[in-house]
Amino acid sequence: MRPLLLLAVGQMVSLPSPPPPPPSANRLAAEVADRIVSLGAEAPVAIVVRSSSRALADGFGTVLAAALARSHMGPSVLNGLADPIQWARANGVKSLVRLELRVESGQLIAQGDLFGTWVNFWSGKAVTRPPQPAAILRASVDADPEVAAILASSSDGNQFRLTGFASLPLRTAALAAGDLDGDGRDEVVALTDEELVVFSWDGRVLAKRDHRKQPTSPTPCREPVGSVVLVPKTRRVAYFSCRLGKAEVLEFEPTQGSLKLVETADAAPIARSGESLLWAKVLPGQNTFGPEFGAKGEPAVSLGQVFWALSYLPSSTPPIYLAVFPGGTGTVARGGPSGADRWALRELGAGSGLVDFEGRGVPALVTSSPRFHSEPEEVRVLQLTKAPTLKWTAVLPIGLILQVTGADLDGTKRQAAVLGVWRPDGSGEIQVLRSLPAE
């Protein structure tokens, strides 16, 4: 009998069965199923499995569903949906299992979480969910040769690699990237509550500005909050730190390795429009910007609500902007932040940004987990359309992703995603997500 794949529109379509998974995947599925049942997961249960091999993910999901069915858990497999939580809620699913399947050091590993999908009706119009996963899931078995062969033969063209770039003693408040020295490769600029740091394309420190001795804001934010924008066609960096309550525009001197103060401002630089900077007000003591923004001397534009971040891709035609709002929603606009061609997004993480992986002016959406407390954190790459589709995902071993920006680190016009990661010990790490060319 061929399995039925549940689609986002609520229809059921008969599809060819995925190839049977290798023995190690069967053993791993049995272990994960036992763990889910022992945790008292509420039926019915939905399953999302992600892997660099779609065939392996689908096969593992089928076997895991069969194991859960024997325990009367009423399972369904939702692989391929960009918003499985929304689908699960709309279709009466009570528990959602999200897993990443990978091979590491000879082990086939399934890692993810068991997540409740209930909605608190006392919240009124605001849909809420549990503040953290019901349980963390992790199991591993010895990987057999078939698994390695399946992963090696995966050719869906959506392969990515996440690597370390630089470490910081404090958590990042903002990230930006651009070609400051004119060598054709982007520099990465990171802001913390103590300093602004300019990194070369390969992670070397080029310049720093220590702002600890400057007057502090009377209403600083509890967590690191700020913004950084590179001024087009100049060597200038504009940044705002909530700790200071002021913005500074700095001139980068590559030969001296210095950042020289040019001017200050009360508003925060949040993005660019053509060759102009867009500015917004930061709400005192909060990690959000006021709804209105605009270039100096021009009429302001309003997004209608406060926002976390404004990401842009000037290389696209027309330019594309992404505004991210508290609560995990967002708006995409073509032609400018107030463009008529706009659509709404859901289930975004606090770390979200537009990245042109292929260098063709067509961005992907890179976003973190939509959960408020992410243990473990995940990074997701979605094809940016009015109905975004998931291209790739991975679980972050440790830390939370709070910033995402695109950077051309190789001088090829192909951007990498630069991620600002907050580590539990209070330090920060910059990681880079690159798209691997299809072989």
pLDDT of residue 134: 64
The CATH number corresponding to 4-152 among 1.10.287, 3.30.1490, 1.10.1660, 3.40.50 equals 3.40.50
The CATH number corresponding to 159-436 among 2.60.40.10, 2.130.10.10, 1.10.565.10, 3.10.450.40 equals 2.130.10.10
Gap between the Cα atoms of 422 and 26, Å rounded? 36
**Does residue 103 register a pLDDT over 60?**
yes
pLDDT of residue 11: 35
Q: How many CB atoms lie within 10 A of CB 256?
A: 9
Is the peptide bond between 318 and the residue preceding it cis, with omega within 30 degrees of 0?
yes
> What is Dmax (Cα atoms) for the chain?
71
**Does residue 377 register a pLDDT over 90?**
no
Positions of CATH 3.40.50 in the chain: 4-152
**Does residue 73 register a pLDDT over 60?**
yes
Positions of CATH 2.130.10.10 in the chain: 159-436
Residues in Cβ contact with 9 at an 8 Å cutoff, skipping those fewer than 6 apart: none
Q: Which residue has the higher pLDDT, 12 or 93?
A: 93
Do 293 and 280 touch, CB atoms closer than 8 A? yes
The helices-and-strands tally (H runs, E runs) of the chain is 4, 31
Do 288 and 294 touch, CB atoms closer than 8 A? no
pLDDT of residue 272: 85
Phi, psi (deg, nearest 5) at residue 85: -65, -45
**Does residue 59 register a pLDDT over 90?**
no
pLDDT of residue 129: 46
Query: Tokens for 252?
Result: 């980068």
**Does residue 337 register a pLDDT over 70?**
no
Residues in Cβ contact with 192 at an 8 Å cutoff, skipping those fewer than 6 apart: 168, 169, 170, 171, 172, 173, 224, 428
Query: Looking at 31-40, 82-91, 278-287, 383-392, which range is the least confident one?
Result: 82-91
In Å, how far are 2, 3, 6, 9, 375 from 13, measured between CA atoms? 10, 9, 7, 11, 34
Gap between the Cα atoms of 187 and 409, Å rounded? 7
Q: Supply the pTM of this predicted model.
A: 0.68
Tell me the pLDDT tens digit for each residue of 339-349.
Answer: 668 889 988 98
Query: Looking at 16-20, 259-263, 354-358, which range is the least confident one?
Result: 16-20
Gap between the Cα atoms of 235 and 229, Å rounded? 11
SS3 helix, strand, coil % of the chain, rounded to 5?
10, 45, 45
Q: Is 90 helix (H, G, I), strand (E, B) or coil?
A: helix
Percent of the chain with pLDDT over 70: 85
**Does residue 124 register a pLDDT over 90?**
no
